[in-house]
Chain A
Amino acid sequence: MSKIHIKVIQPTQIRIDKEYDHVIVPGIDGDFGISLDHTPFITKIRTGVLQLFQNETCDEYAIHDGFVTVENNVIKIVCDTIERKDEIDIARAKASKERAEERLKSSKENINFRRVEASLKKALVRLELKSD
């Protein structure tokens, strides 16, 4: 049986370059699954969990800010940060969650809400994935 080729590309390296049966991607308008012979498709990824299925096992990654292109059973994902479940540093994620919440509470004029929101989301996704 043929499989889907998945490439995850970061600015500093090609992170994943492997074949899988089936993947679930956190799209900007909701999670969606991609199986064999999916129609050509481009969308933005939201901060969330990327699931890659191979036989009966599932690799889970926390992913942040990127795009996914589906073309001829090749899925290319470009993203800034991606971490496998076991690479997540819980203490760091917690600290960054607290820092972001503090920033939002302090309600100073000069904070960059988009950025704080992004880092809060990132931390929450990491914690959620780790606690499963």
Chain B
Amino acid sequence: MANLREIKTRIESVKSTKQITNAMKMVAASKLRKAQDNIINARPYADHINDMLRTLKNKNISSDHPLLAEISGKGKTAYVVVTSDRGLCGSFNTHIIKEAIVNLKKNPDADLICIGKKGYDYFRKHSTNVTEHYINLFNEMNFGVSADVAEKILSLFLDENYDQINIIYNEFKSAIQQDIVVKQLLPIIPVESEESSKLDFIYEPDEDTIIYELGRKYIHVDIWRIMLESSAAEQGARMTAMDSATENAIELISKLTLNYNRARQAAITTEIIEISSGAEAIQQ
């Protein structure tokens, strides 16, 4: 049996770890709430841009604008991989990276654009396909930051002859569930919706300019939404991971305390035996 002091230090250290994981859980919970609010607030804007684009596309089916074009299968493909900047969030990043690797196997020449430090750290070492990376965005996240990223991705798509840009990210389902989503970012596929109007709008200055500008905005808001989803999912994953870490710590503490008490009792018993046998020896 381990000696008493060893067990005691062990208990202390597990206790302080438990405090940290518990605090991290609380912080993640409050950040999660904020991220969820942001997602809800961004919805009307995203919906409206989508409706406008859908209306335009319905009206103008033959549009060959590059932002809305069909995939020709000739140009390059790129994957945008959205991970978190920080660890300690369970399997959040591992799943994304695995999914990205599966996609890269299918398409070995595809380029990678990494958003988030964890993904970048991995692919920097294991792949030569990384063309762009954006790290440490999630801490100070606002619409301007995500718009900058979106603008870069857009100019890559329009200038560098990409045929298709896909994005891989975690979608927030609930605090304990994240779904991995692989979807086509560019060319844009506006979501079918009931709101899209059948009215014959007048467009000013002309439809092509509007398509281009609306397409840009669509990507801005899509990247914004995806980053919000990912950060909500990250906080959710962290919350669950830290919750189970705290549980484990509590369990470990109770086991160690039991061991400690056993060791203490054994020590007392030995001491009593020593004393009583000593006393007996004197009597004889």
Footprint of B on A, CB under 8 Å? 9-14, 27-29, 39-44, 67, 69, 71, 76, 78, 80
List chain B residues, Cβ under 8 A from A76. Answer: 48
The reply to whether A28 and B204 contact each other, CB–CB distance below 8 Å, is yes
| Cβ–Cβ < 8 Å partners of B49 in chain A | 67, 78
**Other contacts beyond A40-B201, A44-B205, A69-B52: 17, CB < 8 A:** A11-B41, A11-B42, A11-B45, A11-B224, A12-B42, A14-B44, A28-B204, A40-B197, A40-B199, A41-B201, A42-B201, A42-B202, A43-B203, A43-B205, A44-B210, A67-B213, A69-B48
Q: Are B205 and A29 in contact (CB under 8 A)?
A: yes
Interface residues in B27-55 (C-beta closer than 8 Å to A): 38, 41-42, 44-45, 48-49, 52
User: A12 contacts B202, CB within 8 Å?
Assistant: no
- A39-B44 in contact given A44-B213, A80-B143 (Cβ < 8 Å): no
A71 to B51, CA, bound (A): 13
Residue interface bits B150-183, CB-to-A below 8 A is 1, else 0: 0000000000000000000000000000000000
Interface centre among A9, A11, A40, A67 (most CB of B within 10 A): A11
In-complex Cβ contact of B45 among A41, A71, A78 (8 A): A78
Contact present for A78 and B48 (CB under 8 Å):
yes
Within 8 A of A (CB), among B176-225: 197, 199-205, 209-210, 213-214, 217, 220-221, 224
A41–B48 touching, CB < 8 Å:
no
**A11 in contact with B203 given A44-B213, A67-B213 (CB within 8 Å):** no
Binding site for A on B (CB under 8 A): 38, 41-42, 44-45, 48-49, 52, 143, 147, 197, 199-205, 209-210, 213-214, 217, 220-221, 224
Contact B44 A42 (CB under 8 A): no
Residues in chain A near residue B42, CB distance under 8 A:
11-12
Alpha-carbon distance A118/B205, docked complex (angstroms): 19
Q: Which of A12, A28, A67 contacts B205 (CB 8 A)?
A: A28
Residue of A nearest to B143 (CB): A11
**Residues in chain A near residue B202, CB distance under 8 A:** 39-42
User: Which residues of the other chain, B, contact A44 by a CB distance below 8 angstroms?
Assistant: 204-205, 209-210, 213
Which residues of A sit under 8 angstroms from B197, Cβ to Cβ?
40, 71
In the complex, A13→B38 CA distance in Å?
A: 9
Residues of chain B lying within 8 A (CB to CB) of residue A11: 41-42, 45, 143, 220-221, 224
Name A14's closest neighbour in chain B (CB-CB): B44
A-B contact list, 8 entries, CB within 8 Å: A11-B41, A13-B41, A14-B44, A40-B202, A41-B202, A44-B204, A67-B214, A71-B199
